[in-house]
Amino acid sequence: DEASSVPAAQKSGWGQFLKSLASFSGDLSGLTAPPFILSPTSLSEFPSYWGEPKDLFAAIADGATPEERQLRVTRWFLATLSGQFTRREKETGSEKKPLNPFLGEQFLGEWDNGDLVLTVEQVSHHPPITAYRLENKKKGIVWEGNCAQKTSFSARQISVKQVGHGLLKLKLADGSTETYLVTLPQLKIEGLWTGRPYVDLTDVSYIQGSHGLTTTVKYSGAGWISGSSHRHTTTITSGLNGPKLYEITGTWTGESKFAKHSKDKKEGEVFLDADEHVERERVSVKPVEAQNEFESRRAWKAVADGIRSGDYDAASTAKGALENSERQKRKDEQAAGAPFQLRLFDHVPNDPEYAQLAALLKFKPETEDSWRLKPSAGR
């Protein structure tokens, strides 16, 4: 039975959903999906995946040379991917449709009693854009970025282009700053017809260091030659098309090893074991009662409770109430001539810091917006 993972009572709903996808492009958040595919978690929580391999993040600062630091940024980045893209499928059997954050929604978290601090704000609703900052003050590392998604549908799968980037800033012992531009992979959502959607990655992403080193991660899935999915081939070169210093191959969900011709590393030496040897820790957040009214888990509590307990009527009533109240707020703001103001981040249109590093990757156009934490945010 092709649709075996879809509960009997929701089969026609799932069929409708798939049909609506076929004639759709834009952002998926507006589409009504059957209950079994709904997640009780808002997309504003997703930036916490960047912080979960917290020791690898902290270790970036201990790299003695630009090459060693480029390797460490690359290792941390690859280690975040299994959380970002396969966690939900692993835990619940399929990818789910996350809650669509409201404008100004916040997600505030930390690890190790505040040694690592995460701040997230939904900085746009149409299109949905999430801005985040992860900071380890003791180590002098800041990772600040934004993410939006452009979705299209073809050949039985959903393609999701991640729009946005992150900048990792490292304060070095001599007081200077090193910056890394990180670009994001594209996703395919497969398994739709069997009612068990899961994510694989395609295309490339880059890590461009201000010292001139470039990491290129090429993603490939299960093909007719390689049976396994989630594969990558990663190179570190001196400049985008410069001499190759390192090559690393493997899967971003499991083991990655140095390949032949890697400067000062042996062929077959393990670079990362994303499955086994990476300590990961979930982010800590305040209990809902102590959260402010814009914090995700407090604002979505009734919706999430309904989804978790299977009371979908309660979930959809609560969701409708939240969405109506947001619409009303925007109308009131318009009528008062006082548009919504972000509380935690400042918008930096055509970010020059992005442009400088993007130019090394020969991107066109070389401009993109960024969002920076307001000094007054108190985080």
Q: Segment 116-145, which members bind ligand HCR (CB under 6 A)?
A: none
CB of 96 to ligand HCR, least distance (A): 6
Piece of the chain touching ligand HCR by CB under 6 A; list 64-72, 96-104, 276-284, 335-343:
96-104
Q: Can residue 217 be called a binding residue for ligand HCR (CB under 6 A)?
A: no
Q: Can residue 85 be called a binding residue for ligand HCR (CB under 6 A)?
A: yes
Classify residue 366 by its DSSP letter: -
Piece of the chain touching ligand HCR by CB under 6 A; list 2-10, 89-97, 134-142, 169-177:
89-97
CB of 102 to ligand HCR, least distance (A): 16
Which H or E run contains 353? helix 352-360
Contact 58, 141 (CB under 8 A): yes
Using alpha carbons, list the distances in angstroms from residue 241 to 66, 184, 213, 238, 244.
18, 19, 10, 7, 8
Q: Segment 276-335, which members bind ligand HCR (CB under 6 A)?
A: none
Binding ligand HCR (rule: CB under 6 A), the pick from 78, 160, 207, 307 is 160
145: nearest Cα among 125, 118, 178: 118
Instruction: Give helix 312-336 / helix 301-309 axis angle, nearest 10°.
Output: 160
Distance of CA 306 to the CA centre of its chain: 26
CB of 86 to ligand HCR, least distance (A): 8
Q: Can residue 197 be called a binding residue for ligand HCR (CB under 6 A)?
A: yes
Q: CA-CA distance, 266 to 191, in Å (whole number)?
A: 38
Binding ligand HCR (rule: CB under 6 A), the pick from 78, 147, 170, 272 is 147
Classify residue 193 by its DSSP letter: T
Contact 89, 81 (CB under 8 A): no
Q: Can residue 153 be called a binding residue for ligand HCR (CB under 6 A)?
A: no
Contact 296, 309 (CB under 8 A): no
CB of 270 to ligand HCR, least distance (A): 25
Q: Can residue 199 be called a binding residue for ligand HCR (CB under 6 A)?
A: yes
Q: Which two tokens stand for residue 263?
A: 């400067």
Residue type, 318: A
Which H or E run contains 318? helix 312-336
Count the site residues for ligand HCR by CB under 6 A: 20
Binding ligand HCR (rule: CB under 6 A), the pick from 67, 95, 105, 110 is 95
Binding ligand HCR (rule: CB under 6 A), the pick from 5, 16, 41, 162 is 162
Residues near ligand HCR (CB under 6 A): 28, 33, 37, 43, 46, 49, 84-85, 95-98, 147, 149, 160, 162, 187, 189, 197, 199
